[in-house]
Structure formats: C-alpha cells, structure tokens
Structure 1
Amino acid sequence: MKIVLLSGGSGKRLWPLSTEQQSKQFLPLLTNESGQKWTMLQRTLSHLARLSLENDTVIATSGQYKDVIREQLNISCPCIAEPERRDTFPAIALSAAYLHSEMHVPRDEIVIVLPVDGGAEPAFYDRLPLLARAMHEAPDRNIGLIGARPDHPSDQYGYILPAAGTGSFLPVRDFSEKPDRLTAQRLIADGALWNCGVFAMRVGYLLDKLAERGYPARYEDLLASYAALPARSIDYEILERESHIGCLPFDGFWTDLGNWGSVARCMDKPFYGEGFMDVSSVDSHVINELPIPVIVNDTSGVIVIAGQEGILVSSKRGAPAIKPLLEGLKETAASREAPIRVHRQWIDSRSADTHGSQTNRLDLPKGAAADTLAASQVTVWTVIRGHGRVIQDDRIVPLDIGQTHTCLAPGRFVADQDAALIEVVIFRDAKRPAEELHA
C-alpha cells in the first residue's frame, strides 16, 4: 500500500497562530514522549515510521510549503505540490497520477489518504495496514474508511452509518455531515461512527474517476490542466456518489486537530508563554507568543491564543465557529489600516461667502491610507500616480490613475501601491480649522 499524507491546508480555525505563511501542521503545538515540542506533521510521520511506512508515503501539499516540510522531517518523502489550492479531490487525484506515472505504482495497489491534522493514539495508525488488507479481501468495495467510536455527540464531525454485517469491515449505508447535537446523539445510539477523513482506494479507481470527468491520468498532463479540476472535497466529488464503501471501526481516542478546542485536548499543560492563570479558571488553556503577559482570572472553559496576527478569546465550544469571524475581519481589515507616512502638501486655498476650499497633493506609500478631513463637506480625489481603493461604509471602489472619486460622506483611500492624489476639499465653513489643513 501507499500513503498520501494531506498537508496543504491553511488551518484558518487555528488563527492567529496558523497563517497562510505558517500553517497549523507546521506549528510546534504538540509534545512528544521526550517532552520536546513537535508539529502535527512530525507527529504523524513518526507514527508512520513506527509502522515502517515512511518510504511508502508521499506528501500532498501546497508548493509554498515544500521547504518547511523538508526542514521538519528527518526522512525524505516525495512532495507533490499543487500549483494552486483547490481542495482535497484535486490534491488526491494529482497524487494518484504521480504514484502511477512517476513511481510506477500499479492500478490495483491500495492508496490510503491520511490527513496530517489527526490527533489519535498509536493504535489508530495500526489500523492502516488492516484497512489495506480489508480492501484487498473485499474487491467489491471501492472505498474503505476508518470510523472512530464517538465519546460524545459532536456537531463538528461527519458521521458514518454502517449497515448490518459480519466481520470487522462493515458496509456503509449512509453519511451525515456535521449534524446538530440532538441528531448526533440519535445517530450515536444507532451505531454511527465519526468519519476520520481516512480514505482507502485503488490507484486505478482514482484514475478512472479522472477519465470519467475528461481529465488526463498522466501526471505531467494533469499538472498542466490542474486549474480546470473542480475545487471540491473528495467527500462531495466522489464519496457521496459511491455506493460500494466499507468501514473499519476504531474504538480508541481520536480527534481532529482543526480548532483550538480539540488542540487543547492534546496539550500537556494548560498555559504556554508569559502570564498567569488562577486556580479558579478550570478547563481553560492559554498559548501566548507575545512578550507581554496574559492573565486569566476566574474564567472556565475558554481558550486564549495571543500571537503576532492577533488575539483570540473564545469558549472551547465556540472555537470551531471562528471562521466566519475571520472572513469578516478580512473584509474590514483595509478600513483599519493606519494612515502611515501620508504626506499632505497644500497647493491652493480659496474662500467664498459660505464655503472654503483647499487643494492638496497626497503622496502615499503602498499600504498607507488617507482619510477625508473631519470638517469637509465634499472631498474629491484624483489619482495621478499608482492605484488604490476608496472605502466608504461597506462599499469599496477601485481607483486607477486618471480616475476621480467624490466623497460626500467620510471615507478613506487605501494605496494598493505607491500612489499620489490631488485632493480638493470643500469645507462647511470658510473659516476651516487650520490644524486640519496640514494633517
């Protein structure tokens, strides 16, 4: 068998420590048996090495992560780099094409897809060879899964509903994707298992799925047409459409390290970094990467994460739900950019009976912002160099060289590259405040 280790995700739910540049699987959040810090990637590879599977493993990842993978691993695993991030189906399909075209793996070989962010005891990884053997012994099954026995009704996991059967490799009759807690409780009573995100398939099966969709099976050809592949997960693109599926149950500890609540379950102590947490703060965890202290007092069941990108304070139960908040943060980030090093140079001033006007030149380096003056009634910006965007309320208006925008309400211009503007300001009063003219 071969292992495809999925290690290309960005880990948004582990913000603020997990970022596009340093994703969650490369963060030293875990502790090994020797008390040393290690990453999800290092821990998963250690489990595979214990089973002598490291030489049968390839890593599917984003191209930007290839160097950090080589730095963190003591063993050499082929890295299959996606040209762009397009979810798990394209990544797995590209890996299958690589195995067949470049490593000459036969079509009937079993490939097991394993996510890098699983948190489980060693016995879970012992199931991988058993899953491959079960697939060999059941040629009518096109996909094999591992399902963990739930220890609580979670609304964060998908559920596998096995059908009645004999033996350990049970047929699957249905799935339920992240049900509410009451439904999860009912599913567990009916014998449902957590879907651990582990998929066993034959190489030829994956190549045939590509052919059915009109895509090439040769690695170099698929790589060249990668942008045309549907940006969908393996669950939605293949799993939901397949009826010949088997499931191998697992009765030990398993969790998905996809949010801070689940990471906390694997932490060896409740507080890392500068600060203090009092004894009345039960079941709370803190990771502080900042040089200033964090103090947690009389607050239970929370997670506090402080890093260079920001600070997160959340209940553990609410930790999985921060992704929409991050999207909102991304949308409004531009409006909070500081107007750094903006040079506003006076050009001309005129006064009328009821209004005054002033013409300025604004020079803004990339990333800087200029706000309308508080006393202005109308502000007209004309771009004479570079480009940027005007932000007013919830509207964002791109502005290129030669274009003009009139602000009848407070607004902000953000320079997307070094830019210069001619600003004409009409004030409510001809006797405008002098301190604003050269702000």
Structure 2
Amino acid sequence: MNIILLSGGSGVRLWPLSNEQRPKQFIPLIKDHSGQPKSMLQHVWSQLKHRNLHNSTVIATSVGQQALIHDQIGREVDLVLEPEKRDTFPAILLSVAYLYSHRGVSRDEAVAVMSVDSRVEDSFYNALINLPEALESTGANVALMGVKPTFPSRKYGYIVPEPDTENLPIMTIERFYEKPNAQDAALYIERGALWNCGVFCFKVGFLLDLLASMGLPQTYEELLLVYSQLEIRSFDYAVVERERRIAALMYTGSWKDMGTWCTVAEELNDPIVGKGFLGKDNNQVQIVNELDIPIIAVGLSDIVIAASKEGILVSHRGSDAQLKEAVQLMKESLLPKSDSIETHSRLVDRSVFADGTIVTTQRIHLKAGMERIFEPLMDGRRQIVSWTVMHGSSRVVKNKEGIVVSSGWNVTLENRDEAVIQALGPVDLLEITTITNL
C-alpha cells in the first residue's frame, strides 16, 4: 500500500503560534517517550518509520514548506510539491498522478491518504494497513477510518453506516456528511455515525478515472501545467460526500485532531509553556507564551492564552471553530482603509541592549509608485539600516547609482549614504535599523 501524507496547511486554528511562515505541523508541541519536544510532522514520520511504511510514503506539501520538511525529517523523503495552495482535492490528485507516472504505481494498487496533524497510538497503523481489504471485500470505491464521537462536533465529517453493518469490523456506508451543524450531527450519532479520522483509501485507477472525466491529464508534469485551473476544494466535499460506494473501518484507539488549541492544550503536560504565572482561582487554564514578557492569569476557567510576535490570543476552550473567521476579520480590519494611503508598516521587534544599542525591525509594504527614503541621523549616533526585499520588484538609488531589484535582494546603509527605494509594483520589505552611540 502507498501512503500520501498531507502536510500543506498553515494551521490558522493555532494562531498566533501557527501562520503562513511557520505552519502548525512544524511547531514542537508534542513530547516523545523520552520527554523531548517533537513537531506533529516528526511524530507521525517516526510512527511511519517504526512500521517501515515511510519508504512507500510521499508527502504532499507546498513549495514554501520544502526546506522546513528537510530540516525536520531529512532530505531522503519523497515530496510532491504543489506550485500553489488549492486545498486537499487538488493536492491528492497531483500526488496520485505523481505515484502513477513517477513511482510506477499501477492502477490496481491501493493508496491511503492521511493528515499530518492527528495524534494517534501505534495501533492506528494496524487499521490503516487493513483499509485495502475493506475496498476489496465490499467493492467500495473509497474506504474511510472512523472513531466513535464523544459529542456532536461541527469540526468533523460523519460516517453513517448501513443499519445492518453497524459495529461490524468492516462497515458499508449509507452516507457521508462533511461538517454538519450540531443538530444534524446529534442525529447522525444516534444512527451510529463515526467521526471521520481524515483517512481515505482508494485505488489509483479510481482517481485517474476521475481526472479523465474532468478532462485533466494523468501525468504529474502535465497536471502541474494546469494546476492553477483545478477547483479549490477539499477532498471530503469534492469526492467523499458525493460518493455512494463507501466502506469504513472503526479505529478504537486514542485519536485527536491536533489542529485546535483545545486538543493541543490537552496534550501539553505543563499548564505553562514559556514565561507565565497562574494566580488563584484558575481552572483548566493553559498559557503558551513565546514572548519575553510574562503572562499572568487570575480567576479564569477553560481558557487558552497563546502569545507570539504575531499576536495574542485569549480564547475559551470551546470556541475553536470561531478562531479562523476571527483571524481573517482581524487581518481585514488592519489593512489600510483608503487607496490614498501610500505605505503601511508593522513593528516586528524592538530591542534595547545594556550598552544603549537599539535594534528595530519593521515590515513595510509599498504600493506601486511609492517610495521609502533613507534618512540618516544628525545627532551624532551611528545608524545602520538594512533593507531586504521580501516580495516584489523595485528600483533602488544609492548614492546616485540606480539598480532594479526583486525578491531576496538586500542593501545596508549607513549615515553617509543617500538612498531611496521606489516600488515598481506592490513591494514588501523587511527593514532592520541599528542605532549605537559612537
């Protein structure tokens, strides 16, 4: 059996620790048997290696996460790189095309898809390797793995079995419902529904036929060329919810979706990570603090407090479903409200050292046609400014010499210099200013 490990998300539900630059699966929040911190990716990869399943596994991820994956689990891993993020349906299609055209996997071979952000016992993999049998014995096109629900959550898909197969080792499925409302979820649980563990199994030919029916190529290189045309949609909605021939296995061990603060807080052995203090009358309070200033919590119940340079979150443990929307609304509210605004900047860090040195880091956005001028200090102190172009194209004039620069370019300026950077299109800069006493 072949495995596709999905590791392309950014994990907004774990904001502010998780973001586009540091997705949740790379944050060392899990401790191994020796007490050493591990990321979700490292934990799952070690479990796959323990079962010798890693050699038949490819990781579907975005181009921007390639270096992070290599740093955490090594360069021998086989990666399927998405040229852009388009959700799990396109990522799985691209991965199957890669298995078929690059690794020589035949149409009749089974492929299991699993997410990197689940916390499971080793017995989970006993069920995983039995999924191809579920396809064969039932004639299903898709086999799923489910667990018994504990409450009518809106975060998961629901696998509703046929009445005469409920609680059998292999069940045939009446219907799959992706993320219903709480009222409908309660009804499905009464009918013996399972939570979907985010595991899908199918034969390679099933997905290749789907590509053909959509008028899309079946080879990896050709599919890459039209990847931007694929529908942005999850595999659950695009395939599983529409499929009528589904089977399922029940997994009876421990399973947690590590994509929310509620489940992450349950896994942390210490209620305080980083600088923090719990005062009197606290109940079920978790502090995760990456800042160099302390957080104090007093008289709170069922609260998660998370802090990083990205921001500070104070949330009720049961409010995970609202965080993604809240983060999006926050970002929209902080954008410039008028086209007349030429630039905007965000302070990333400001440090003052014992010898009086001040280092300030700002992220700056310039609209097309706008400019930022280097202004030397006139008070006798030494100033060094570093401009790094993070994204976009611009023209820099330094001491009357001009050059067109783009992403990755860097220049260092001192008091004696004259310089200006002019945006040829939207440009994002990182500006680091160091001021010292002469």
Deviations 1:62-111 (A, max 9, x none): 00101110110147220100000011111000000000100001111100
Distance 1:387 1:40, change over 3 A: same
Quote the residue 2:126 is aligned against.
126
Deviations 1:335-383 (A, max 9, x none): 4999779xxxxxxxxxxxxxxxxxxxxxxx98379xxxxxxxxxxxxx9
Quote the residue 2:22 is aligned against.
22
Paired positions, count = 355
Contact 2:176 2:240 in 1 (8 A): no
Q: How does 1:271-310 map to 2 (within 5 A)?
A: 271-278=272-279, 280-310=281-311
Aligned-partner Cα distance in 2 for 1:107–1:41: 29
Q: Secondary structure at the match of 2:153?
A: coil
Q: CA deviation at 1:332?
A: 2.1
User: Which protein shows a greater Rg?
Assistant: 1
Output the amino acid matched with 1:215.
Answer: L
Distance 1:384 1:281, change over 3 A: closer
Contact 1:16 1:306 in 2 (8 A): yes
Output the amino acid matched with 1:2.
Answer: N
Quote the residue 1:247 is aligned against.
248
Distance 1:109 1:165, change over 3 A: farther
Q: CA deviation at 1:52?
A: 1.1
Output the amino acid matched with 2:268.
Answer: M
Quote the residue 2:383 is aligned against.
none
The alignment's TM-score, normalised by the length of structure 2, stands at 0.76
Distance 1:340 1:124, change over 3 A: closer
Output the amino acid matched with 1:191.
Answer: G
Quote the residue 2:177 is aligned against.
176
Q: Secondary structure at the match of 1:171?
A: strand
Distance 1:272 1:222, change over 3 A: same
Output the amino acid matched with 2:147.
Answer: A
Aligned-partner Cα distance in 2 for 1:311–1:384: 32
Contact 2:110 2:203 in 1 (8 A): yes
Aligned-partner Cα distance in 2 for 1:253–1:95: 28
Q: CA deviation at 1:186?
A: 3.0
Aligned-partner Cα distance in 2 for 1:37–1:221: 40
Q: CA deviation at 1:158?
A: 1.7
Unaligned runs of 5+ in 2: 347-361, 373-420, 424-438
Aligned-partner Cα distance in 1 for 2:368–2:136: 68
Distance 1:339 1:48, change over 3 A: closer
Unaligned runs of 5+ in 1: 342-364, 370-382, 389-416, 420-439
Quote the residue 1:69 is aligned against.
69
Deviations 1:126-156 (A, max 9, x none): 2111112322334x21000001111233222
Q: CA deviation at 1:300?
A: 1.0
Quote the residue 2:364 is aligned against.
367
Deviations 1:196-237 (A, max 9, x none): 110001011111100000000011101111111111111121
Quote the residue 2:109 is aligned against.
109
Q: Secondary structure at the match of 2:283?
A: coil
Bigger mean CA offset, 322-331 vs 276-285: 276-285
Q: CA deviation at 1:271?
A: 1.1
Bigger mean CA offset, 10-19 vs 160-169: 160-169
Output the amino acid matched with 1:183.
Answer: D
Correspondence 1:211 to 2:208: no
Distance 1:386 1:196, change over 3 A: same
Bigger mean CA offset, 215-224 vs 248-257: 248-257
Contact 1:86 1:232 in 2 (8 A): yes
Identity percentage over the alignment? 43
Quote the residue 1:432 is aligned against.
none
Output the amino acid matched with 2:258.
Answer: L
Q: CA deviation at 1:418?
A: 4.3
Aligned-partner Cα distance in 1 for 2:101–2:14: 36
Q: How does 1:12-161 map to 2 (within 5 A)?
A: 12-74=12-74, 76-138=76-138, 140-161=139-160
Deviations 1:303-348 (A, max 9, x none): 000001000000000122111111111112234999779xxxxxxx
Q: CA deviation at 1:279?
A: 5.3
Correspondence 1:8 to 2:8: yes
Contact 2:178 2:241 in 1 (8 A): no
Aligned-partner Cα distance in 2 for 1:75–1:143: 32
Task: State the superposition RMSD in angstroms.
Answer: 2.5
Aligned-partner Cα distance in 2 for 1:25–1:40: 5
Bigger mean CA offset, 159-168 vs 14-23: 159-168
Runs of 4+ in 1 over 6 A off after TM superposition: 336-341
Aligned-partner Cα distance in 1 for 2:363–2:11: 28
Output the amino acid matched with 1:386.
Answer: M
Output the amino acid matched with 1:154.
Answer: S
The alignment's TM-score, normalised by the length of structure 1, stands at 0.76
Output the amino acid matched with 2:141.
Answer: N
Contact 1:278 1:298 in 2 (8 A): yes
Q: CA deviation at 1:301?
A: 0.2
Output the amino acid matched with 1:104.
Answer: G
Distance 1:255 1:368, change over 3 A: closer
Contact 2:178 2:237 in 1 (8 A): no
Contact 1:260 1:320 in 2 (8 A): no
